[in-house]
Amino acid sequence: DADVTQTPRNRITKTGKRIMLECSQTKGHDRMYWYRQDPGLGLRLIYYSFDVKDINKGEISDGYSVSRQAQAKFSLSLESAIPNQTALYFCATSDRSSGGARNEQFFGPGTRLTVL
């Protein structure tokens, strides 16, 4: 089974609709992230969370909100979807570094979202 899972994998919606993307992980990591990927722009951070009570805005948080329901679950919501939110969305996890030794991120398979 995959360590980081995302649902749904594909979603087509209309402008103005509320959308929730979900991420679950079995890696036991405390840190979770949401990114979007657009052609030519690379991965950009939307929100990140270092534990259940810690939520932080990333580079492009406007129009998005998140919820960390448990250590293993981190959801991303688009309150009122617009066409320029059409993108590939990735969830990632990382473990709190121990002496700075390992801080790499592990990514889910992605959700392709299309807003018409």
Partner 1 sequence: EDQVTQSPEALRLQEGESSSLNCSYTVSGLRGLFWYRQDPGKGPEFLFTLYSAGEEKEKERLKATLTKKESFLHITAPKPEDSATYLCAVQAFTGNQFYFGTGTSLTVIP
Residue 79 CB contacts under 8 Å (≥ 6 apart), including other chains: 18, 63, 64, 65
* Site for partner 1 contains 63 (CB under 8 A): no
In angstroms, the CA 110 to CA 100 distance is 28
- Figure out which of the listed residues 14, 44, 69, 80 binds partner 1, where binding follows CB under 8 A: 44
Nearer to partner 1, 68 or 108 (CB): 108
Q: In sequence order, what DSSP letters do the residues of 9-23 get, joined into one string?
A: SEEEE-TT--EEEEE
Site for partner 1 in 90-109 (CB under 8 A): 90, 92, 100, 102-109
Yes or no: say if 90 and 62 are a contact pair by the CB < 8 Å rule.
no
* Residue 59 engages partner 1 in binding (rule: CB under 8 A): yes
Q: Contact residues for partner 1 (CB under 8 A)? A: 4, 33, 35, 40-45, 48, 50, 56, 58-59, 90, 92, 100, 102-110
